[in-house]
Amino acid sequence: FQRYKSCLYDLTGTLGSENSQSFLSDLYYVKFADLSTSKKKCYNQLSNKVAFEYSDWLDLIAKESIKIGKKRPILIVCENVEATGNIWNELIRNGVPPHTTEKYRRDATNKGERGTDISVDPEVNKQEGLHVILNYPPENVRVEEQAFGRTARNGAVGTGQFILQVDKFVYEHMYELDQYPTDQRKLKVEELADMILEREKNQSR
């Protein structure tokens, strides 16, 4: 950047947060500009969900996958191989036929599925397109954008959501959830899901 100065340009769809841009700007003295995409992105973020217990987390992912998977394909992005195997087993335990699922593995250098292009049948786009479930708080905005960027590509439609397992004791104390009966506590956790998600993302970055 410093050698070619104003003669060098670059395009990226997943540069990251404002902090990342600020860092690169200070280091290389470069400027940034936002360009609109050639096709409008038809992406819809569904309600995020959180669970306190690991078993409840697996159950949430399985039930959400089964519900949405009746009409369209789902991509579940996991943080590690162990989570992938446990979610696979939970899907099978809930009656999902093994031949309808597929496991993909990427090493740490390709975390977030960078460069992976997923194409779906045009008929799928009539049913809201590919759905992406991200089940861990990504380490930065770039990884998050890459994960959810697997859907709603090139003008197609698509949806995504977070389903996280979080520390029960932290949030029960923080939001005084013990004062609620079991049914009300569950509804309260659903209401707090987005706030909890943002806190988890901030802590992981």
Confidence of residue 109 (pLDDT cuts 50, 70, 90): very low
pTM above 0.85, yes or no: no
Domains and CATH numbers, the chain: 1-36 (no CATH), 42-203 (3.40.50.300)
Contacts 24+ apart (CB under 8 A), 78-81: 78/135, 78/136, 79/135, 79/136, 81/105
Q: What is the pLDDT of residues 29-46, one digit of tens each?
A: 888 888 877 888 889 999
What is the structure's pLDDT at 3?
84
Length of the chain: 205
pLDDT digits (tens, 9 = 90+) for 129-183: 999 999 999 888 888 888 898 888 888 899 999 999 999 999 999 999 999 998 8
pLDDT at 117: 62
Query: CA of 34: how far to CAs of 10, 58, 133, 154, in Å?
Result: 12, 38, 27, 18
Measured distance CA(92)–CA(22) in Å, rounded: 46
* 174-191 pLDDT, tens digit each: 999 999 998 899 999 999
Q: CA 181 to CA 117: how far, in whole Å?
A: 46
Tokens of 159: 């949806």
Higher pLDDT, 3 or 88: 88
- Strand, helix or coil for residue 51: strand
For 87, the token pair is 């979610």
